[in-house]
Amino acid sequence: MPDVPFVDPPVVLINAQQVTIITESLQRAILVRMNLLSSPKPTYEIDGQTFKWNEYLDVLNKTIKQLQTDLVALDEDYEIESSMYSA
């Protein structure tokens, strides 16, 4: 076995591929947020493990905002359309 460490080959994504990847990630994050909001849970601790749903929702919202920003930065012609419903 050679003593040279493995180095991943460089991956170059074209703009369209980056837009596709970010769009898919954005859609997944929105679906996760929708599922979380459809059945809200309290923060709790069980067997030494803490589940902080409000913090998780905050992270999801920040992720969605960042993905939207990244998408707009890649493609200035891209428009983000969203709707929000409340019960």
Q: Kindly give, in sequence order, each residue whose CB lies less than 8 Å from that of residue 66, ignoring residues fewer than 6 positions away.
A: none
User: How far are the Cα atoms of 23, 28, 74, 86 from residue 77, in angstroms, in the given order?
Assistant: 14, 22, 9, 30
Distances (CA, A) of 37 to 3, 10, 15, 30, 87: 51, 39, 33, 10, 11
Provide the pLDDT for residue 74: 81
Question: What pLDDT was estimated at residue 1?
Answer: 57
> What does the alpha-carbon distance between residue 25 and residue 47 come to, in Å, rounded to a whole number?
32
Confidence band for 44, pLDDT divided at 50, 70 and 90: confident
**Does position 69 have pLDDT exceeding 80, yes or no?**
yes
pTM above the 0.75 mark? no
pLDDT, position 82: 66
Per-residue pLDDT averaged across 30-36, rounded?
Answer: 93
pLDDT of residue 77: 58
